[in-house]
Amino acid sequence: MEIILLKDVAGLGSRFDKVTVKNGYGRNYLIPKKMAVIANRANSAKLAERMRQIQAKEERILAEIEQLIERIKANPIQVGAKVGTTDKIFGSVTNVQLAEAIKKQTGVELDRRKLSINEEVKTLGTYKATISFREGAVYEFDFDVVSE
C-alpha cells in the first residue's frame, strides 16, 4: 500500500514522503492516527499544492530575513551601557539589551532567544553576535558597546 506521510515517522520517513507499507500497518495504525493518507490522485494533488504553498512561504521568509540583514548592515548597532572610570561596564550587555537596541535602531523586533552574543561583554568596544533565524539561516554581525 502506498501512503503519503503527514508527520515524521521514525524508521519510515519524514513528512510528505511517499512510502510503501504493509496494508495492516497503513490501515490500522498510520491512517487512523492521522499520520498518513492513502497515495491516490486526489491526495497527491493536495500534497503538490501544499508543497507549493510551503515553498512560497519559505521564499517570503527568506526575503524578510534578507531585508533585516540589509537594515543591520546599513545601520551599525550600538548598545549603550553605564561605565565606570576605567571603561568597565557595570554588569554586562545581554541579548535582551541587544534585541532592544536593534528594535530602536532598525524598527525590527527580534526574539531575544534567536540572538546570541559570542563572548562576554564587560568593556566598551566592538563585539560579534549571531542571529539564528531557523536551521541553516544564521547571520553574524558586529555591534558596538558605547557609554550612555
Cell numbers 566592538 label which residue? 126
Q: What does the longest C-alpha to C-alpha distance in the chain come to? A: 76
Q: Which fold has domain 2-61?
A: Ribosomal Protein L9; domain 1 (3.40.5)
CATH code that applies to domain 63-147: 3.10.430.100
Residue 92: name the closest of 126, 129, 124 by CA.
124
Name 14's Cβ contacts closer than 8 Å, sequence gap at least 6: 5, 8
User: What is the average per-residue pLDDT within 43-57?
Assistant: 91
**Beta strands of the chain (E only): which ranges?**
2-5, 18-20, 36-38, 77-81, 115-117, 125-134, 137-147
Amino acid 47 reads L
As annotated, the residues of the chain forming the CATH 3.40.5.10 domain(s) are 2-61
Mean pLDDT of the chain: 87
As annotated, the residues of the chain forming the CATH 3.10.430.100 domain(s) are 63-147
- How far apart CA 111 and CA 68 sit, in angstroms, is 13
pLDDT attached to residue 72: 78
What are φ and ψ of residue 7, in 5° steps?
Answer: -140, 165
Name 92's Cβ contacts closer than 8 Å, sequence gap at least 6: 120, 121, 122
For the chain, state the CA radius of gyration.
24
Cell numbers 524508521 label which residue? 11
Cell numbers 524578510 label which residue? 64
Among 1-5, 69-73, 111-115, 118-122, which stretch is predicted with the lowest mean pLDDT? 69-73
pLDDT exceeds 80 at position 108: no
pLDDT band, residue 105 (cuts 50/70/90)? confident
User: What is the average per-residue pLDDT within 21-47?
Assistant: 94
